[in-house]
Each structure stands twice: as C-alpha cells, then as structure tokens.
Amino acid sequence: MRATAPAATESFAAPVRTRLPVNTWRGRAVLFALLSLLAGLCALLSLAIGAQNIAFDEVWRALVAPESSDEHVIVRTLRVPRTLVGLAVGAALGLAGALIQGHTRNPIADPGLLGVSAGAAFGVVLSIYALDLRLPGGYVWFAFAGALAASVVVFLLGASGRGRSTPVTLALAGAAVSALLGALTSALVLLDPDSLDGFRFWAAGSLAGRGNDVLFPLLPFLLLGTVLAFANAPALNSLGLGEDVARTLGLHVGRARVTGVAAVTLLAGAAVAAAGPIGFLGLIVPHLARAATGPDHRSLLPASALLGASVLLLADVAGRLAAPPGELQVGIVLAAVGAPFFIHLIRRRRLVAL
Amino acid sequence: MPASPLSRLRSARLPALLLAAAVALAGCGPQDAGGATDTAPETGDSDSFPRVVQHELGETTIPERPERVVAVTDGGELASLLALGVEPVGFGKRNDPIRPWIEAAGGAEIESYDLAGTEVSFERIAAWKPDLLVVQAGFATKENLAQYSALAPTVVTSFIDWKDNLRQVSEATGTTEKAAELVAENEAAVEDAAKALSGSKGLKVQAITVFEGPEIYRLNDASPLGKLAPSLGLAPFPKAGTPGEAVDTVSLEKLADIDADVLLVQDFGDDGPYRALKEQEIWKRIPAVKTGKVIELSVEESEASYFDSVLTVPLNLQMLQDRLG
C-alpha cells in the first residue's frame, strides 16, 4: 500500500516531477540557455570529429579562414552541410514527436504514426522503379510528396468514420495505411532487387552525402511546420485536459487537430525526405525533454527541438567513429542505441501518462 | 547376426549398383546415356568413387561419379564446372544476362531458373533429379545444409578463392587432373602477365566502387585483383578489414588518403553515384585524381574483377595488362 499510494498521487497531480523551476520565466531562460548550449556543443563536435582526424584549431581555421587543404575541404564540403542537415532534421523530428505524443496522448507515438515514413519510402521506391532515378537529390520531392499524400489519406480516413476524427481513429488509419504502403514497397523492392540499392541505403537513414542541395529546398516547409507547431502549443495544453474540458475552455478542437497534423506532416515529411526514415528519435526525445520541462507544451516543444538536434548529431558522430575506415549510418546507430535506451526509460520511471 | 566383413562389403556394394542402375535409367536422355557408359571405365585411382570431399561446411561423401550435377548458384562453382568440362543439368541464375565468361563457356545452353532476388527453389532443383549439388557458401549455411543434402550429396564451395572452389568442384566430380591443368594454365598466364608488366614493378594500384551512400567500397588483398597483385610485382592491396570479405568501406573523409598511383573505378551499370561523387571537392583531393591516373573500367571488366573464378583470372590479367601496360 505504502509503495503504490505516492505513485498514484504523482500520476494524478504531476505526471512528471521537474527539477528546474520552469514555471518562472527566469527558470525557463536558464533551461533554454542550457539546451541551446548543448545543441551548439553537439554541432561543434559534429564539425570537429569524423573518420578523418583533424585538429580542432584546424577545424576552426577551416571555418573562419578557409584554404584549399584536404582538411579544410573535408570540414567545409562534408562536415558543415552534414551538420546543418543534422540540426534541421533532428529539430524537426523532436518537434514532430512531441506534437504527435501530445495530440494522441500516447507516450509511445512517434511521427511515423501518421504514415509519413511509409509514404516517403513508397514515394522513393516508386521514383526509382518507375523513373529510374538514382540520386539522393532526386528522391527528395518523391519522398516528400509520398509523406504528404500518406498523411492526408490517413487524416481523411480517420475523420471519415461516424464520429469526429479522434486520436484513436487517426492512429488506426495510420497503422492501416502504413501497413498497406509497406507491403507495396516490399512488393516493388522484391520485383526489382538490383536497381534498388539506392533505396536500401536511403531506407537506413543517414546524414552523410545529404547536403545543402537537399536541405535548402525543404527549409520553407520546415519553417512553416515549426511555426504551426509553436502556434499549436497552447491548444495542446488544453487538449491535455481532455477534449470536453478543452471545448468548454473555448478551444476549437477540430482546428487544433488539423493544425497539429499539418505541422507533424510538414516536419516529419521534410525530415524523412532529407535524411531517410530515422527511427526512435521522435519517440525518445520528447520523453527526455519532458523530464526537463514538464508537460507544458510551450516549453516542451522548443526543448524537444533543441534536444532532437543534439541527440541526432551525437548519434551521427558516434556512427562516424564506429567502423573505421568506413562509417555507420545514423539511422542504424539510433536503432541500436535507441531501443535499449527506451527500455531503460520505461523501467526507470513509469512511462508518463499523457 | 553379426555381419562378416565379406557380407558388409557386399551389402555396401549392392545399393551402389542399384543406385547406378537408377541413375542410368533416370538419366536416359541422349547425352547422359553416352556419358554414363564412357566415363566409368576411365576412372583412374586418383578420381575413384566413393570419395570424401572437404568443403566450406565440412565434408561430404560422394558415392558415385556424379552424372547430374546442379549448380545451385551461378558463382565460381558454375565457372569451375564449365571449365572442368562437366556440364551441369541446371543452375540458379542470379545474373541476367549471364556473365560473358559463363556464356563463352557454353552456359547459355544450360537450363536455369531465375534466382535473382528470390529464395533457392528446392522444387526446381529436385525436378532436375540431381546426384550432386554444388552451392556457394552463404547460400548454403549450417542451418539449411540438410535441406540441400536431402536432395543429393552437397558440396559447399568457396566464394572468395577460385583455387579452393576449383578443388572442391573437381574432387566432387572426379576431374582433379583437369583441375591441375587449369591451375597450371592460370599460373602460366600470371607469369606471362608479370613479364609484360615488369615495367610497373611496385606500382600502387587500387580499385574502388562507388555506390549510393556516405562511403565508397575499396577492394582489399582478398579480392580477385588484390590476390593477383603480389605475383604481378604490383604493390600489395590494403589488408582486408573483415576476414572473408573482398571489399572494405572507406568514409568520404578518408578519400584523400587513398594512396594509389593508379585508381581503377568499377562500374556495375549505374554510374549515377560515381558522377555525383566526381562533382565533390573531396574527390579532387585524391592523389591519383590530381595526377589524372583514374581508369574507369567497363562494366564487363568490373564484373570480372569483382568475381573470383577459374574463368575470370585470365580476363583480369588481360585487363591489368591493357590498362597498366
């Protein structure tokens, strides 16, 4: 009895204990200064560490006074674009994860729930199979279009039932559409295994070889998604009390849901188009962020973005050092590290009830 | 009743005779009937049956000189069979169109089924009524070897070394004399090539493949070219990172460290990733690129230089002479 009583109160009153006084603006300022510092540090690590050993002062010189030495070429043309893609993709996946967990009130929801990853994968396979495209730059729009299309179908299916679209119908529609697209993708891959080497690489998720040519066209969508996400934060806080309470508080539930789904689609769709399907990040990062900020989405969303960028870059750096003289793709690193970490998270503290 | 040595001998011989009769009946196509009667008396001591063949997954007893050999895979084992003059009754075709050296050795006239991207079809293999299966290591594993052996005695062949592959296939088919001839021919060809390349002593040659992704693939000292390099007087290829693998991955960041006088670039019919890499600044930092010593191999040359078999050794020697001489 004594063991269960405090736990019950905890989940009722405060789902997560927060160590920092984030309810004051001063506390929030300290927290975000720390998180920004962490993201900056990870970006520096990503610039400084790689398969090739380059002294830190040389890395610095490559950034501020570039010459045409081998080291400077590596930093400028390989590490800088890769770091930028990592920052953008990590932040987008962190945000999308926090949004989808908030909307579905499901602690194990991840951005792929809306069929985004499956849609992007199908778009890529279709482009290789039908159009014989072979370059990562060429996949981007097909991946993005696939992600958007899948998400729209999921939303329409989820909303087409007798009742309104609820998180549960969304999740069910997402699972169904993902399964269908996954089957179609496998069918195409099996039909033509030789020409799909490119897909196999894409499907593992990687930051390497994806540079500014991939990032810049997607940037407007990432920015729009971020704006929609932050605009959605107060509504998410109300929705956390339940739809009925939110409605009595004057929230337009349908509009809030559409905004959230649109933001997740844009963010996760652009991320998967840029770097391939990277798992676990959107699942784990919101849990880490929540431990620091508590359930208030106005803090949780930006914290998830900063932590997402940090974790993705750290995992990428680890992958660069894991298999010399080659590299391990970041999607594989996250899958290998993410699963045990997630289990640890669940075992250490009861999974938060959202 | 305990069997006497004599009766044990007799009982061992009887099933063998029955089996031989069954084989003769089963294989009553025109070319098989001739083969069965011609080869039996010629069997010398060194190639007598039953015999035990050591292979990649242990040892297998072959009771009779095989008449209906199936090459489960079309790797080095199919090349070995054709070079040894043993025509298989069928093979699993993973390469469509079939490799040029297989076609030149008569592989196009042999029955096959499509094995690209699918599982081995034990039904197809059984329909050929084989009395010997040769299968590349990897397709046969410790776990599924019993499935092959249930159809016929199975010899698992080396993927990485053509001499091992040839030894395994020749011992299983009773053609070790022919195998020795083939090895001698290839060794003579190596010596000739070494003479022709005597001007390139110590030349550092490396070969890479560019696929999609953050890395390139570099042939190591276990690759077909890497194994030829020392006997040709060329500098040794990089040591294999993983035993049994002919290629290792190299990060793009490490490209400028590729220490080669001549860089061979393989092309497997999709040069998109290579063209994209050539645009990158890091590519231009490779010493061999700076000196203009990059040689882009044709698809045919690339296939042969990636594929270790008794039939591709002469092709690879010819390629190196053409390209480096």
Indicate yes or no: CB of B117 within 8 angstroms of CB of A51: no
B120-153 CB burial, b ≥16 within 10 A, e <16: beeebbeebbbbbbbbbbebbeeeebeebeebbb
Residues 6+ apart with CB under 8 A from A326: A51, B215, B248, B249, B250, B251
Query: Mean pLDDT score of chain B, rounded to an integer?
Result: 84
Q: Which of B211, B217, B248, B252 to mutate to test the interface with A (most CBs of A within 10 A)?
A: B252
Interface of B with A in 276-295 (CB under 8 A): 276, 280-282, 285
Break chain B into its structural domains and give their ranges: 44-174, 186-324
**HSE toward the beta carbon, residue A230, CA cutoff 13 A:** 11
Q: Copy the structure tokens of residue B230.
A: 């020392």
Cα–Cα dist B263/B208, whole Å = 7
For A115, left (φ over 0), alpha (ψ -120 to 50), or beta? left
Q: Which of A15-29, A179-193, A334-348 has the lowest mean pLDDT?
A: A15-29
Which residues have CB under 8 Å from B196's CB, separation 6+? B321, B325
Q: How far is CA B16 from each of CA B7, B9, B49, B152, rounded to the nearest angstrom?
A: 14, 11, 10, 14
pLDDT of residue A12: 37
Residues B45-54 pLDDT 10s: 567 889 999 9
Q: Pick the more confident residue, B250 or A1.
A: B250
Residue A136 has pLDDT above 60, yes or no: no
Name the minimum distance, in Å, from the CA of A91 to any CA of chain B: 22
pLDDT at B302: 92
**Nearest residue in B to A187, CA atom:** B117
**Domain contains A303:** yes
Residue among A52, A136, A197 minimizing CB distance to B254: A52
CB atoms A52 and B253 under 8 Å: yes
Lowest pLDDT segment from A17-21, A310-314, B70-74: A17-21
- Number of folded domains that form chain A: 1
Among A73, A194, A325, select the one facing B281 at the smallest CB separation.
Answer: A73
Residue B325's pLDDT is 77
Is A89 part of a structural domain of the chain? yes
Contact B217, B211 (CB under 8 A): yes
Q: In this complex, which of B253, B272, B280 lies closest to A51 when CB atoms are compared? A: B253
pLDDT, residue A11, reads 37
Residue B241 CB contacts under 8 Å (≥ 6 apart), including other chains: A325, B220, B248
In the numeric block, the tokens 């909303």 are attached to A159
**Residue-wise pLDDT tens digits, A53-73:** 899 999 999 999 888 899 999
- Of all residues in chain B, the percent with pLDDT exceeding 70 is 85
Beta bridge partners of B112: B91
In this structure, what token pair is assigned to residue A4?
């269960």
For domain B186-324, the CATH superfamily is Nitrogenase molybdenum iron protein domain (3.40.50.1980)
Residue A15 lies in a domain: no
Please give the pLDDT value at position A298: 92
Show which of residues 13-52 on chain A sit within 8 Å of chain B, judged by CB atoms: 50-52
Q: Indicate whether A224 belongs to any domain.
A: yes
Beta-carbon contacts of residue A317 (< 8 Å; ≥ 6 apart) = A42, A45, A46, A49, A50
Task: With beta carbons less than 8 A apart as the criterion, state whether B106 and B87 touch.
Answer: yes
pLDDT in tens, A85-131: 999 999 999 999 999 999 888 888 888 888 888 998 899 888 877 77
Spatial neighbors of B88 by CB under 8 A, at least 6 apart, are B69, B70, B71, B78, B81, B110
For residue B2, what pLDDT is reported?
38
Contacts of A323 in chain B (CB under 8 A): 249
Q: Is the Cβ pair B282, A209 closer than 8 Å?
A: no
Q: What is the mean pLDDT of residues A7-13?
A: 37
Given this model, what pLDDT does residue B232 score? 95
Question: Using a CB-CB distance cutoff of 8 angstroms, which residues of chain A are in contact with residue B251?
Answer: 50-52, 320, 324-327
**Of residues B208, B212, B251, the one with CA closest to residue B226:** B208
Q: What is the pLDDT of residue A6?
A: 40
Distance CA B130, CA B145 (A): 15
As a whole number of angstroms, the distance between CA B227 and CA B207 comes to: 13
Question: Which residue range forms the structural domain that includes residue A311?
Answer: 78-348
CB-based burial label for A287 (10 Å; 0-12, 13-18, 19+):
buried
Averaged over A325-347, what is the pLDDT?
Answer: 84
- Tell me whether A136 touches chain B (CB under 8 Å): yes
For chains A and B, CB pairs below 8 A equal 86
A70, A135, A190 ranked by CB distance to B256: nearest: A70
- Range 73-92 of A in CB contact (< 8 A) with B: 73-74, 76-79
- pLDDT, one tens digit per residue, over B79-133 is 999 999 999 999 999 887 889 999 999 999 999 998 876 789 999 999 999 999 9
Domain-located, residue A38: no
User: Which chain A residues contact residue B266 at CB under 8 A?
Assistant: none
Q: Which letter does DSSP use for residue B137 in this model?
A: B
Residue A198: what pLDDT? 67
**Per-residue model confidence as pLDDT tens digits over B212-267:** 766 789 999 999 999 999 999 999 999 998 887 888 988 888 899 999 999 999 98
Class of the CATH domain delimited by B44-174:
alpha beta
Q: Is residue A209 over pLDDT 80?
A: no
- Alpha-carbon radius of gyration of chain B: 23
Q: Which residue of B has its CA nearest to A207?
A: B214
Residue A40 lies in a domain: no
Q: Do A209 and B252 touch (CB under 8 A)?
A: yes
User: Is A49 a member of any domain?
Assistant: no
What's the length of chain A?
354
The nearest CA of chain B is from the CA of A310 a distance in Å of: 21
User: How does DSSP classify residue B27?
Assistant: T
For residue range A282-307, what is the model confidence (pLDDT) as tens digits? 999 999 999 888 889 999 999 999 99
Q: Do residues A116 and A264 touch, judged by C-beta distance below 8 A?
A: yes
B265 forms beta bridges with: B208, B296
Under a CB-based contact definition with an 8 Å cutoff, are residues A170 and A161 in contact? no
B100 in contact with chain A, both atoms CB, cutoff 8 A: no
Q: Are the Cβ atoms of A197 and B212 closer than 8 angstroms?
A: yes
pLDDT at B35: 36
| Chain B nearest CA to A135, separation (Å) | 7
Task: For residue A115, give the CATH number of its domain.
Answer: 1.10.3470.10
Residue B267 forms contact with A (CB below 8 Å): no
The answer to whether residue B245 neighbours chain A at the CB level (below 8 Å) is no
User: pLDDT tens digits, residue range B7-56?
Assistant: 333 333 333 433 444 433 333 333 333 333 333 333 445 678 899 999 99
Cα(A21)–Cα(A28) distance, integer angstroms: 7
Query: In chain B, what percentage of residues exceed pLDDT 90?
Result: 65
CB of B301 within 8 Å of a chain A CB? The answer is: no
Write down the pLDDT at residue B184. Answer: 96
Q: What is the pLDDT of residues A239-252, one digit of tens each?
A: 888 888 889 988 88
pLDDT band of A21, cuts 50, 70, 90 = low
Put simply, the answer to whether A52 touches B257 (Cβ < 8 Å) is yes
Nearest CA in chain A to B216: A326
Q: Which tokens sit at B191?
A: 């010596």
| Residues of B with Cβ-Cβ distance to A53 under 8 angstroms | none
Minimal Cβ distance to B214: which of A76, A135, A209: A209
Same CATH fold assignment for domains B44-174 and B186-324: yes
Q: How high is the pLDDT of residue B129? A: 96
User: Beta strands B112-114 and B90-93: pairing type?
Assistant: parallel
Tell me if residue B166 falls in helix, strand or coil: helix
Q: How many angstroms separate the CA of residue A90 from the nearest CA in chain B?
A: 19
